Chain A
């Protein structure tokens, strides 16, 4: 026991010695969470366990937080949450260091130096919010509401963020989605009418992962389910130009040529339909285009695909046979971040089609859940609000006037940045950015910085001074996910809560509070009709007659909802069926069938620059977390050992990587674990903000290298389509 006492004291000493220059006058340790004490979750000494929800990525695992004397000391996966099932990944485990990061922004900041100098002064909330509101009203009056861009990476308070932008009247809504899953979501919406089909590993026998790196891009319960399935003897085939840690789990790793996944998949479809190996009964009943599919696929033979993919025709044919033999126990995984090439939409359409042929959708034990026979939604309430003002201005990101099939809520983020620079179709003037770091996430960082330079006003909401906040005029400090409430989240028919485990440190405040305060100053108070966070949650629970107090104690509620299920399977597409042939695509001028579109290849002497994931970090947001920093690998540029030898490079050499738009310096990792025509740069590093003292100076940013290419159908940025030269420094 004395051991724990000593080390805790040291821990406190360590964190108070490291008080940030930006956390001007750091507050005393946060008081014990009032609401938790009232709910009986924390005793008089400030000790207890509280159920809440993780926010280290978007999987949103259930968490049990251990609190000792009002301080969070440990997080555990909540066994009762279907996304954690009692476990947390490295990021989830590190979450307390997100809260106790010595670089937390704990007070509103107003810029005093030049943009990018990082010189700020502390302001009160009233002053900071008044400045933001005044600037936003000025822009609205002078240039119209459309001159203001709003962007935020998806989170549970997004619904109130959307109230802010829609109430204000701007059509310009930026998300991270076009840098992530536009191709997957758009393809599955068009084919099945669902954004993201659920995966079921219970009886899976054959798993095809097309670049889905579940061992490093971890969704805790799904990653566990994959490893369980492999232990039970399921076969795993991984298509990836890189030998990832997922590939290391695979029975077969196929190092396919980047951009050629669709050719591999189309050839599998060709074999299955030509040899009549599909689940005919299912396909005839539920698939639009089943009769014409063999003809539409006739050119995509395994021999043809071999020339595109570098995978032998015999292997492709064997994969088709094994996939088909597994019947509805086969899964072609839809993937997640599928923004790789301008043909990534076609890759996803081919994956959607392959699943349709196996009949794995909806069958008992089937591996994909892409339609719902029941009304599974839980009818949560929400505060009343007036309708939004009519918005007539075009969206700067080209949706739908340039990208007709991209869903409005996905958008084309990179296009929005380019519109700031071009001033077309009109000039943007301000940018409201919440929990997002476009300086590092968007391709071509120099262009992003140039775009920021063209704006009159930039405001950022974040818990730390990330690179975008560093270039902002006002920074509004958000409470960390362990310090605040967010709107409720429904998973598997149960309602889960995120609740404050400790009171916010310093002057940090929840997004629900920040958006309401700002909304009221903008004259939009009617869109924020809740007294405080708890009132918001109570209004959500009201129609169900459920109690917030019970929810706070249990962490979740399981409402008894009468679910309608008449047994009829209906897909939410125009035809009500799975649209392998899509009339919608045809009308928009695209191929109605999954089709091959030739991607560019690197010129001689250049490499594909691949991006990817490491299990210790989430995109560009967690590199300053000291626990994750402690256990991360040094960021490197991976190159095949043979390719390195032929360039006279050896492991550990400092190299310069140069693309058409920028260059970066980074040590080389010479490895067998990558195709000889590719390099891979550990993503997420190369931060510009000196307010991130743990992360600053570590690694290089691939966004300095990425060239902006947009998939014309889904709007996804082609993140692996940049070609680079590499030389020794």
Chain B
């Protein structure tokens, strides 16, 4: 029996120039409303003392977790882990817009679209995958920082990049002994040692006007506190674990 697909992103942070082509491509491809965004580029800020400075950009979106907390809390069954691709998807016909999944996602990678009354998030551009295309953000990435593929297929471009990476990091999140097992791997940059990449403040004022309405501040703070200190795993171990 063929091995199941585990679709995921491999993101080479050394290649991201924060040009935001991915963001616009995603918005156009998926008709994302002007007040919302499905994907982000996190700016870790200007670090160091003038003139010895560094600045790193971290593109990310839904992590398409192995054990997604969002599906656990979904009352309508709209949010599910797709068996064919391994992507975490939202059936917007079934979604009742309760927003529980938005609060449950430790990565803040979902939003409630108030106009449409449904939850939305990165779908891995499944409509493109079905016709043999890559996700819009990956196709257009000017720095070639974003890769996408089946991480269970050792010959996929993403798996090869992961195998050859200088460093690999994965933002795992553990609660009550359950690991999310996120399927975004950040490579070639030590960027997330304090796990501060998520949660985060809105970065695009125009596109995230409703951000604060969505997240109850107390919930945000709670996630933030539990997150620090347990989120980061150097994934050589995890990877090896999964290969077994």
What residues of chain A have their CB less than 8 Å away from a CB belonging to chain B?
1-4, 6-8, 10-11, 14, 73-77, 86-90, 92-94, 96, 215-216, 218, 220, 223-224, 227-228, 230-231, 243, 245-249, 253-255, 615-616, 626-632, 634, 640-642, 671-673, 676
Contacts and interface: CB of A to CB of B under 8 A. Distances in A.
Contacts of A255: 50-51
A93 B48 CA distance: 34
A92 B21 contact: yes
Contacts of A14: 34
A87 B141 contact: yes
Nearest to B28: A74
A1 B130 CA distance: 12
B31 interface: yes
A627 B24 contact: yes
B176 to A, nearest CB: 33
Nearest to B50: A672
8 closest A-B pairs by beta carbon, nearest first, are: A7-B31, A215-B17, A93-B24, A615-B19, A248-B55, A227-B143, A90-B21, A672-B50
B67 interface: no
B19 A216 contact: yes
Given A89-B19, A615-B19, A96 B142 contact: no
A88 B21 contact: yes
A253 B53 contact: yes
Interface stretch (B99-107, B199-207, B216-224, B234-242): B199-207
22 contacts: A3-B93, A4-B127, A7-B116, A74-B136, A90-B19, A90-B24, A93-B21, A93-B140, A215-B17, A215-B19, A224-B143, A227-B17, A245-B55, A248-B53, A249-B17, A628-B24, A629-B206, A630-B34, A631-B206, A632-B206, A642-B50, A672-B53
- Most chain A CB within a 10 A radius of its CB, from B127, B140, B204: B140
A253 B30 CA distance: 38
Nearest to B30: A7
B15 A90 contact: no
Q: Describe B's contact surface by its main secondary structure.
A: loop
Interface string B134-151: 001001111110000000
B111 to A, nearest CB: 14
Contacts of B127: 1, 4
B65 interface: no
- Most chain B CB within a 10 A radius of its CB, from A632, A640, A642: A632
A676 B50 CA distance: 9
A11 B31 contact: yes
Interface residues of B, number: 46
B168 interface: no
B172 interface: no
B226 interface: no
B20 A631 contact: yes
Contact of B55 (A6, A89, A243): A243
Contacts of B56: 248
B63 to A, nearest CB: 21
A220 B12 CA distance: 18
A227 B15 contact: yes
B207 A673 contact: no
Contacts of A253: 51, 53
A415 B158 CA distance: 54
Nearest to A616: B20
